[in-house]
Amino acid sequence: MTKHKKKQSNPWKYPKLVLALGLGIVVAFSSISYVSLRAPDLPSPSLKDLAAKHGIDLGMLVYDHKLNDRIYPDLVRDQFGLVTIDGGAHFKELRPSETEFDFSTSDTIVAFAAANNMPVQLHHLIWGDRIMIPKWLEQGNYSKDQLRAILRDHITKVMQHYKGRVREYSVVNEAFTEAQHLYGLRSFYGDELGYEYELLDDYFRWAKQADPDAKLILNDFNNETKNKVSDAMYVYIKAAKARGVPIDGIGMQMHINASNIPPKQALLDNMKRFGELGVSIYITEFDINSNSVKQSEADKDKLESRIMYDVTRACIESKVCKSMTVFGLTMKNDLVKKLTRANSRDLLFTSRFEPTQAYFGLRQAFSE
């Protein structure tokens, strides 16, 4: 018996059917994409408006490559009152060579801020960590006088480029942590020029000359409570103010390890003692690392909400805290994940832009 092969149908004989199926698939995928990227339905008033009632600017670390996303820029604009640049404006990123400046990344972020009437805080003019030092500078065998001239030129040109567009600068970052060689940190500038704190005077004076209207911040790590770092900063600030050094504020990075939570009163007392020296407090890089905490995810959510609440209340109650920058909208693509905390959890929003318990802890603190 002869077996006949089953005749294969040719779908292209029915172009209307193929077109309909194709459009259906496209619509289906578009709908899925739309749902996954839907903006969160957040309560009113916004976080920034709640913070403003206390005289505090709530800031957000902003990335240029995220500004083309569908939801990210709107969420930043609607919920935050300060744009912080920490990535795209470091020495290594701005200086491909001794004679060149590349402002393309930071210009994009500053333009976004200007379009939305948001002030800008820029990090960091001077940061000695060797990962932020370009090879041409590290291997240039410059004399001390030459290196000082390069740093003065850098401060001057960056601040003049953004004069009137950047409100405040982290002029120096982690100088006190590096000077004490804590956590294995060392400074390229300290190794080359010395670790005397008085060298910082010049950085602030140069900055003041470049833009007399900008607020100038001395930023550091692990200085949120009374300890070796904050004590050294306190001694320096007191003497520097007596010398007329134009330092407007102390930057507290506020990278909180949830396994070693600073008490709210300790935060508050430390902020107040700096305020008594005539400087303001800026929380510049606030995030929470709960990776080492042996708790359920639900319990970690509650813990992070409480930490967010306590830090925010300390900022409010100190009466000297001018701004608080949260170091990333979500943890999915943010700097802290890339550099230090590969498994960190979400911050104020999940990767799907859903508010976390930390968001509600922050909201509660500003609402009271």
Backbone φ and ψ for 323, nearest 5 degrees, come out as: -155, 160
| Annotated active-site residue in 168, 174, 178, 224 | 174
174 belongs to the catalytic site: yes
The span from the CA of 240 to the CA of 204, in Å, is 10
Q: What is the C-alpha to C-alpha distance for residues 352 and 106, in angstroms, rounded to an integer?
A: 26
Which of the following is catalytic: 178, 224, 285, 304? 285
* The two structure tokens encoding residue 331: 């943890």
β-pairing, 321-326 with 280-289?
Answer: parallel
Nearest residue to 223 via CA among 153, 170, 152: 170
> What is the full DSSP assignment across 182-234?
GGG---HHHHHH---TTHHHHHHHHHHHH-TTSEEEEEESS-SSSSHHHHHHH
Strands (E), 11-148: 57-61, 82-85, 120-122, 126-127
**Token pair recorded at residue 173:** 């970052």
134: preceding bond cis by omega (within 30 degrees)? no
Question: Rounded to an integer, what distance in angstroms lies between the CA atom of residue 316 and that of residue 206?
Answer: 32
Contacts 24+ apart (CB under 8 A), 345-348: 345/290, 345/291, 345/300, 345/304, 347/287, 347/288
The catalytic site residues sit at: 174, 285
